[in-house]
Amino acid sequence: MAMEKRPGTTLVIIGHGSTTNPDSSEPNHRLADAIRERGIFDQILCCFWKEEPSMREVMHSVSSPEVYIVPNFISEGYFTQTVIPRELELEGPLTRRNGKTIRYCEPVGNHPSMTEVLLKRARETAPGVPTKETSLLIVGHGTNLNDNSAKAAKTQVRLLSNLDLYAEVLPTYMEESPLISDWATMTSQRHVVVIPFFISDGLHSYQDIPVLLGIREEVGPAASQSEVFQSNPHHLQGKELYYGSAIGTDPMMADVILDQVKAFDEALDQSMVLN
């Protein structure tokens, strides 16, 4: 169902950004443009942690009394729980300040509709390949310092597995077990589809993971100059490997952002009923 117009409302999409990767902020701007075309909000702004405009600057550009903040991040973690609230001086999910009501939504990766985006990306990455003869791998970052990215990937793997479309759906990571470098031994099927569970085609998806998969022997160029996503399938270790680009680059992510806005309102309405 299409979202109704929300006069007097601004949507702010927050991304990580990068000082080294020119492709990092592109998905945020592209999604902002796509949502802007729908005419739902009076104003749509992007801001970043590592690029301009910064989070501290963006609120000065907000012209509406009602504001929704949506973190374009895969999971809850240090940035969504600490950095963003600090930089925007948020008091919690709901902040009222200087005549504005600021609603802080959950990150996009937390929403159940991400499952449909992953499924679409997997199908587009390996068109015509029988899913019942395919192993689907969802690649998260994984780290011993913060397990939230791993948790988000595991949640999506569970949801995808419940659909019973693929022979198997497995979580795998760059920095913790099961490691993506072991993809060939962990999969039971000849067809293997690998989808990076990242927002942008950054250093991980176009440089690190292709090396770990064996697609490349050394780090390649930026995603905007790379053919790593267009050369499927890769014939490796007796299998056919299909490698997709980062999930956050899919146009359906615009709907996920709007889904988080709706989810915030529904949760607020529910809490008011309970109280």
pLDDT by residue (tens digit) across 16-52? 887 777 677 888 999 999 999 999 999 999 999 888 9
Q: Is the pLDDT of residue 145 over 60?
A: no
Burial class of residue 164, CB neighbours in 10 A (0-12, 13-18, 19+):
exposed
Average of per-residue pLDDT across 8-14 = 98
3-state secondary structure the chain: CCCCCEEEEEEEEEECCCCCCCCCCHHHHHHHHHHHCCCCEEEEEEEECCCCCEHHHHHHHCCCCEEEEEECCCCCCHHHHHHHHHHHCCCCCEEEECCEEEEECCCHHHCCCHHHHHHHHHHHHCCCCCHHHEEEEEEECCCCCCCHHHHHHHHHHHHHHHCCCCCEEEEEECCCCCEHHHHHHHCCCCEEEEEECCCCCCHHHHHHHHHHHCCCCCCCCCHHHCCCCCCCCEEECCEEEEECCCHHHCCCHHHHHHHHHHHHHHHHHHHHHHC
Q: Is the pLDDT of residue 216 over 80?
A: no
Average of per-residue pLDDT across 134-163 = 85
Mean pLDDT of all residues belonging to the chain: 89
Average of per-residue pLDDT across 156-169 = 96
Given this model, what pLDDT does residue 102 score?
97
End-to-end CA distance of the chain: 29
Query: What is the rounded CA–CA span in Å between residue 147 and residue 137?
Result: 18
Partners of 45 in beta bridges: 12
pLDDT band at 258 (very low <50, low <70, confident <90, very high): very high
Q: Name the more confident of 210 and 42.
A: 42
> Residue holding tokens 């759906």?
169
Q: Where are the domains of the chain?
A: 6-109+251-274, 111-249
**pLDDT per position as a tens digit, 47-106:** 998 889 999 999 999 999 999 999 999 888 888 999 999 999 999 999 999 999 999 999
pLDDT band at 191 (very low <50, low <70, confident <90, very high): very high
**pLDDT per position as a tens digit, 220-232:** 554 444 556 668 9
Given this model, what pLDDT does residue 190 score?
98
Q: Is the pLDDT of residue 149 over 90?
A: no
Contact 210, 223 (CB under 8 A): no
Given this model, what pLDDT does residue 55 score?
93
Average of per-residue pLDDT across 148-170 = 91
Domains 6-109+251-274 and 111-249 share a fold: yes
Q: What's the CATH architecture for 6-109+251-274? A: 3-Layer(aba) Sandwich (3.40)
Of residues 10, 11, 12, 33, the one with CA closest to residue 84: 12
3-state secondary structure 13-55: EEECCCCCCCCCCHHHHHHHHHHHCCCCEEEEEEEECCCCCEH
Percent of the chain with pLDDT over 90: 66
Q: What's the CATH architecture for 111-249? A: 3-Layer(aba) Sandwich (3.40)
Given this model, what pLDDT does residue 225 score?
46
Given this model, what pLDDT does residue 223 score?
45
